[in-house]
């Protein structure tokens, strides 16, 4: 097996532990049991638990970007499709994502630097932003979707299913209305 494949297998095992027991239970001994690697094999790839957690979050960011891409509609101009993919990534409910976020929450609360991969992604996305009226409206939609995610995650909001569906539909309609048309978004 190659080195990258071993690294991926370790990260998959670590993610399984985080999803079922939380980042606090992610120890090298537990990871060795879950992954089948020796402690030396684990520390070869991840010398510290922080480096392991950082790699987990970097992997999650990559998976998140792939999810956004997969959720983009094909019937919308490019800029609207990109925004809708972002909105859907936050509003399509999945137990897997919820379990991972719950498992990582205490770790990132104690070490904010673990969120650096997320910060880098957001900084990259905003680097060339012009912050005109269109960009501000689109940011409102992003914040709305993120807020819905966190409000539901913490069970602060319990919208009836039909109301939630209408809300998400309205966010997507606004994304189409507040994004440049085919001419501005075409390649």
Give the tens place of pLDDT for each residue, 30-89. Answer: 999 999 999 999 999 999 999 999 999 999 999 999 999 999 999 999 999 999 999 999
Quickly state the pLDDT bin for 184 (edges 50, 70, 90).
Answer: very low
Q: Are residues 26 and 63 in the same domain?
A: no
Q: Are residues 113 and 40 in the same domain?
A: no
R_g of the chain computed on alpha carbons: 19
**Nearest of 16, 117, 113 to residue 60 by alpha carbon:** 117
Q: Are residues 138 and 117 in the same domain?
A: yes
Please count the CA atoms within 13 angstroms of the CA of 170 that sit on its side-chain side: 8
Quickly state the pLDDT bin for 182 (edges 50, 70, 90).
Answer: low
Q: Are residues 105 and 42 in the same domain?
A: no
Q: Are residues 83 and 18 in the same domain?
A: no
| pTM score of the predicted model | 0.87
Q: Are residues 41 and 69 in the same domain?
A: no
- What range defines the domain where residue 32 resides? 1-47
CATH classification of the domain holding 15: 1.10.10
Q: Are residues 140 and 103 in the same domain?
A: yes
| Residue 79 φ/ψ, nearest 5 degrees | -65, -40
- Residue 183 corresponds to which tokens in the numbers above? 């001419």
> Cβ-count burial of 153 within 10 angstroms (0-12 exposed, 13-18 middle, 19+ buried)?
middle
Q: How many domains does the chain have?
A: 2
Q: Is the dihedral of CA 158, 161, 163, 166 positive or negative?
A: positive
Q: Are residues 72 and 43 in the same domain?
A: no
Between CA 21 and CA 173 the distance in angstroms is 39
Pairwise pLDDT comparison (182 vs 176), residue with the higher score: 176
Q: Are residues 28 and 120 in the same domain?
A: no
Q: Are residues 156 and 76 in the same domain?
A: yes
Q: Are residues 70 and 90 in the same domain?
A: yes
Q: How many CB atoms lie within 10 A of CB 1?
A: 7
Q: Are residues 91 and 181 in the same domain?
A: yes
- Residue 159 corresponds to which tokens in the numbers above? 């919208």
């Amino acid at each position: 097996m190659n080195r990258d494949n071993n690294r991926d297998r370790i990260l998959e095992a670590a993610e399984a532990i985080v999803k079922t027991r939380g980042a606090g239970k992610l120890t090298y001994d537990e990871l060795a049991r879950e992954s089948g690697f020796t402690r030396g094999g684990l520390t070869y790839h991840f010398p510290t638990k922080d480096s392991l957690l950082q790699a987990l979050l970097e992997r999650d960011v990559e998976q998140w970007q792939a999810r956004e891409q997969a959720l983009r509609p094909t019937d919308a101009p490019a800029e609207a499709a990109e925004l809708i993919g972002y909105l859907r990534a936050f509003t399509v409910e999945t137990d897997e994502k919820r379990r991972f976020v719950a498992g990582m929450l205490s770790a990132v609360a104690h070490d904010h630097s673990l969120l650096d991969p997320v910060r880098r992604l957001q900084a990259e996305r905003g680097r060339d932003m012009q912050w005109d009226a269109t960009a501000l409206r689109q940011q409102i939609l992003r914040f709305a979707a993120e807020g819905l995610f966190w409000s539901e995650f913490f069970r602060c909001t319990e919208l009836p299913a039909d109301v939630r569906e209408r809300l998400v539909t309205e966010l997507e309609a606004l994304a189409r209305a507040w994004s440049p048309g085919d001419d501005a978004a075409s390649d």
